[in-house]
Amino acid sequence: MKTVLALAFLVAACGGTAATTAPTGAPATTQTSAAPATAAATTTPTTAPATAAPTAAPTTAPTVAPTPTPEPTPSPTSEFASFGDGTWEVGTDIEPGTYRLREAPSLCYWARLSGFGGGLDDIIANGNEGAPAIVTIAATDTGFESARCGTWTADLSQVTTSTTEFDEGTWIVGTDIEPGTYRSSGGELCYWARLSGFGGSTSDIVANDNVSGPTIVTIEGSDEGFASQRCGTWTAR
């Protein structure tokens, strides 16, 4: 027995496998030294590095130049004095001088005034016009009244399209019409007047007449103006 134990010890010391002899009567058991278990290698899956999305280049919006605000166009200022309908004080509201209607009015009434009482004795001169007219307002006048006449202007430039043929109205000799002898086409209740001024009073009349039918008048170069109503068209001879 001692011999068996000694052998077993010797084998164990040498790293071998000892055969143990069981005592008589017991089956012999052979013990095999089990090799140490080898752990299975675990492979950690490799994750591919994430691919970064391409960075979009910043988009710069085009710079729009601000639209300049247009400056308002000033209305042209007339170099000529003018006024419309109403009753005006001379020297305060309007200046004295010669004014004309450059367009034909409808049922125009005007009056030079010595006062504002509204009576007949306040009227220096007056007129009813249905064609271009001219009036001289004196510095001694107190007021001037205009109704349905439109605009009176100090612009006395030509308004006729011809200086040798014209219709009814009040015209400036040497500007609107030429001096000379004219024949009218005629009309009922024709009135014409050669004028030395445009004040509208009888003292401004060089000569005048009321006729029916065609008539002939010589306008002198010394005349300031010529007025015609309901006479038709005047044509130089």
Q: pLDDT tens for residues 153-181? A: 999 999 999 999 999 999 999 999 999 99
pLDDT of 75: 60
pLDDT of 128: 96
118: left (phi over 0), alpha (psi -120 to 50) or beta: left
Rounded Cα distance between 151 and 84, Å, is 5
pTM of the model: 0.68
Least confident residue range of 14-23, 82-91, 165-174, 228-237: 14-23
What percent of the residues of the chain are helix, what percent strand, and what percent coil, each to the nearest 5?
A: 10, 30, 60
Residue 119: is its pLDDT beyond 80?
A: yes
pLDDT of 13: 43
Residue 27: is its pLDDT beyond 90?
A: no
Question: In 3-state terms, what secondary structure has residue 121?
Answer: helix
pLDDT of 179: 98
Six token digits for residue 182 = 């004219």
pLDDT of 67: 72
Tell me what the mean pLDDT of segment 9-19 comes to: 44
Q: How confident is the model at residue 87 (pLDDT cuts 50, 70, 90)?
A: very high
Q: pLDDT tens for residues 45-67? A: 555 555 555 555 555 666 666 77
Q: How confident is the model at residue 29 (pLDDT cuts 50, 70, 90)?
A: very low
Residue 15: is its pLDDT beyond 60?
A: no
Q: How many CB atoms lie within 10 A of CB 22?
A: 10
Average pLDDT for the chain: 82
Rounded Cα distance between 36 and 26, Å, is 29
Six token digits for residue 93 = 């509201």
